[in-house]
A and B are shown apart, each in its own frame.
Chain A
Amino acid sequence: MMKHRIAVLALTALTGLPLVAAEPAAAQEEAAIPGVQLGLAYENLYIPPLAILPFTGPDADAALVSGVQGIVARDLDYSDRFVVLDSLPEGLADDGIRYSLWDQYGADWVLMGEVETVAGRHFLSIELHDIVFTSVERGRFALPARDDEDFRMAVHRVSDEIVEWVTGEPGIAASRIVFSMRPFGNPTAKELYIVDSDGENLQRLTWDENLAISPAWAPDGNRIAYVSYKTGLPGIYELSLADGSERPVDTGRGGQHMTPAYHPDGDELAFNILGAGLFRYDLGDNCCLVQLVGGRAENLQPSYSHDGDELVFLSNRLGEATPQIYTMPARGGNADLLSPYRFGQGGYFADPDWSPISSKVAFAGGIVRRRVLNRYHIFVADTEVGDNRLRQLTQEGSNEDPSWGPDGRHIVFVGERSNGLGVFIVDSGTGRTRLLVASVEAADTDWSPALGPRT
């Protein structure tokens, strides 16, 4: 757009033609969202091939060995950091690792694994060979018993270790997603559910037969704050995942408490009280309710920046029909519009979520056309670049409730497709999208931080 205008100006200077004649043509080239370039602007990433040799386990149960390999192979595939090669031709790995051979085969990385069982305890030994730089990384990880509920998570943590060896960045395998969904047989209730990042292990968390919505993970991964209507008025509760205990967050102020979000330090909660604004409350000291945003408009869905210094939130201060996304200092101050807005053209943007590692914010929405829009897409804006450029991550159906994974790269969201609703994960690097939970009317998806071993 800018280049185009410069060209027009240059042409005007050369020919002396009036500039106004060129304006309508320029205006027509405006993208669907005014002033914003849309489209799938994925980086042209090189995705290195990684070969996985069949895991061995001379003294371990064969089903256990292939089970562990299956989890790791799928995790590495889902990381979208590698092209996983795990159907290798016979004989390629018979004689130890020959780097030149693997180089010819086209693998940049070769992964080997061995499951040992020593005195009833399992260990997973991993070797990751860097074919390009001819180096190797090794690790040995204890695994719990196969029927232990932490077994899969322990294998996921090995997968994340491999990702971190290669990329220096965190993975998403050892993480979970919490969301709200109507339980079977009760069309008026909503309960919280939790699922592993690979779609396994779907579990129900609440049993109130009421409305349980807006879950938010604590940064320690052990607590979830959410909103329940079980007393009649929506209030915030903090659920401990370790023992299932729960406590109401009593801020000392009446009103309908909504959309909680943890500060990265884990002790502070930001939330909305309907009609009253945005507030924060100290969970550690159980005190000190502070109003961050007031006024007549509704201000909700706060999300802290990765460093905890800023907040992104939704406000309808420009009108009920045009909720927009704003950023502001976490201790209060002026709010800046982040979502694209031009007077008279509206737009509907909601569900902001700040990346846990970067200056990027994901949100859902779109431009309202003749007030019938019911199709939203997932967008990412960079709060530091500030060029008002959005990246659109979804192309089909309608999509809401984006939440960043611990790698600051994958985003979980609720998608509506022609064949039904579901929970999806999109990789903002490649645009690759996978279905996490099929055929569920889910909402309010929130992705956990990287989950360490149970304590």
Chain B
Amino acid sequence: MSNRRLVLAAFATAIVLAACGSEPEPEMAPEPTGPTAEELERMRQDSIRRAQEAEEARLRAEREAAERERQRRAEMSRQTLRETVYFDYDEAAIRSDTETRLRAKLDILRANPGVQLRMEGHADERGTSEYNIALGNERSEAVIQFLTGFGLDAGRFSSVSYGEERPAAQGSNESAWAQNRRVEFVITAGGDGIGR
């Protein structure tokens, strides 16, 4: 508002001066009006506040971006923790692809000591149903043993075996069986605190 006033005042003066040269002075030109002292002080305060607000918004955006990034990384970590691992027929031995996945989990578990996991062991439909529950348990125990072998506290892990009762894939073929010989992971504690 005060800027516009200055411009208006200057404009009015220019008109008056231009008029002087061509015609006799018709009337009194309006008194030029500059900002008062109060107005100047207010303007100064306004500009300080605007700068502060801009800085705060910038910081807020940065914090939000950092939080989004943390959330994204935490979600990635949770996905890595939840990633299913697979086993060979009638085996509870850790395969190399399973070891790769377990090592990825290991790093996250080390960095986040509050995280606890439940291992859910499964078997394919071949074999007798009750022995398959024992086999599923051996698979989750093998996973727990792998992780505690790197110094993780065994108290952070629990296990339950479903044997062949909860197949991930239907069908009586090698492709379905391979998907069903597995250990699934459920985060039972500390999932929200990952990366904090």
Task: Give the interface of A toward B (CB within 8 A).
Answer: 188, 190, 211, 213-214, 229, 232-234, 256, 258-259, 272, 274-275, 298, 300-301, 314, 316, 320-321, 323, 348, 350-351, 364, 371, 373-374, 376, 400-401, 443-444
Given the known interface contacts A190-B165, A274-B161, the answer about A320 and B138 at a Cβ–Cβ threshold of 8 Å is yes
Task: Give the interface of B toward A (CB within 8 A).
Answer: 89-92, 126-131, 133-135, 137-138, 141, 159-162, 165-166
Cross-chain contact A444 with B130 (CB below 8 angstroms): yes
Cross-chain contact B165 with A298 (CB below 8 angstroms): no
Cross-chain contact B135 with A320 (CB below 8 angstroms): yes
CA distance A320 to B160 in the complex (A): 18
| Residue of A213, A234, A314, A373 touching B131 (CB-CB under 8 A) | A314
CB distance from A446 to the nearest CB of B (A): 12
Cross-chain contact B160 with A234 (CB below 8 angstroms): yes
Q: Collect the chain B residues with CB atoms within 8 Å of residue A300's CB.
A: 130-131, 134
Given the known interface contacts A213-B165, A274-B161, the answer about A371 and B130 at a Cβ–Cβ threshold of 8 Å is no
Residue of A274, A298, A300, A376 with most chain B CB atoms under a 10 A cut-off:
A274
| Residue of A256, A301, A320, A400 touching B92 (CB-CB under 8 A) | A320
Q: Collect the chain A residues with CB atoms within 8 Å of residue B127's CB.
A: 348, 350, 374
CA distance A364 to B131 in the complex (A): 12
CB distance from B158 to the nearest CB of A (A): 8
Cross-chain contact A258 with B130 (CB below 8 angstroms): yes
CA distance A272 to B91 in the complex (A): 20
Cross-chain contact B160 with A213 (CB below 8 angstroms): no
11 examples of A-B residue contacts, CB within 8 angstroms: A188-B165, A213-B130, A234-B161, A256-B161, A321-B89, A348-B127, A351-B128, A351-B130, A371-B90, A373-B126, A401-B129
Cross-chain contact A298 with B134 (CB below 8 angstroms): yes
CA distance A190 to B160 in the complex (A): 17
Cross-chain contact A274 with B133 (CB below 8 angstroms): yes
| Residue of B129, B160, B162 touching A400 (CB-CB under 8 A) | B129
Question: Given A213-B129, A272-B134, A400-B128, 18 other A-B contacts at CB below 8 A?
Answer: A188-B165, A188-B166, A190-B165, A211-B165, A214-B130, A229-B162, A234-B133, A256-B137, A258-B130, A258-B134, A298-B134, A300-B130, A316-B138, A348-B127, A350-B127, A371-B89, A373-B126, A376-B128
CB distance from B64 to the nearest CB of A (A): 38
Closest B residue by C-beta to A234 = B160
CA distance A258 to B166 in the complex (A): 17
Q: Collect the chain B residues with CB atoms within 8 Å of residue A275's CB.
A: 137-138, 141
CA distance A400 to B127 in the complex (A): 9
Cross-chain contact A259 with B160 (CB below 8 angstroms): no
CB distance from A328 to the nearest CB of B (A): 18
CB distance from A212 to the nearest CB of B (A): 11
Closest A residue by C-beta to B125 = A374
Cross-chain contact A258 with B133 (CB below 8 angstroms): yes
CA distance A342 to B131 in the complex (A): 21
Cross-chain contact B133 with A320 (CB below 8 angstroms): no
Cross-chain contact A274 with B126 (CB below 8 angstroms): no
CA distance A190 to B167 in the complex (A): 13
Q: Collect the chain A residues with CB atoms within 8 Å of residue B133's CB.
A: 234, 258, 274
CB distance from B87 to the nearest CB of A (A): 10
CA distance A79 to B130 in the complex (A): 30
CA distance A301 to B133 in the complex (A): 11
Cross-chain contact B134 with A316 (CB below 8 angstroms): yes
Residue of A272, A301, A320, A374 with most chain B CB atoms under a 10 A cut-off:
A320
CA distance A258 to B132 in the complex (A): 12
Closest A residue by C-beta to B136 = A274
CB distance from A279 to the nearest CB of B (A): 15
Residue of B126, B127, B130, B165 with most chain A CB atoms under a 10 A cut-off:
B130
| Residue of A233, A376, A401, A444 touching B160 (CB-CB under 8 A) | A233
Closest A residue by C-beta to B131 = A350
Cross-chain contact B130 with A350 (CB below 8 angstroms): yes
Closest A residue by C-beta to B174 = A372
Cross-chain contact A274 with B128 (CB below 8 angstroms): no
CB distance from B18 to the nearest CB of A (A): 92
Q: Collect the chain B residues with CB atoms within 8 Å of residue A444's CB.
A: 129-130
Cross-chain contact B128 with A364 (CB below 8 angstroms): yes
CB distance from A270 to the nearest CB of B (A): 14
CA distance A314 to B141 in the complex (A): 19
Cross-chain contact B131 with A323 (CB below 8 angstroms): yes
CA distance A443 to B128 in the complex (A): 9
CB distance from A326 to the nearest CB of B (A): 14
Closest B residue by C-beta to A321 = B90
CB distance from B9 to the nearest CB of A (A): 81
Q: Collect the chain A residues with CB atoms within 8 Å of residue B134's CB.
A: 258, 272, 274, 298, 300, 316, 323
Cross-chain contact A301 with B126 (CB below 8 angstroms): no
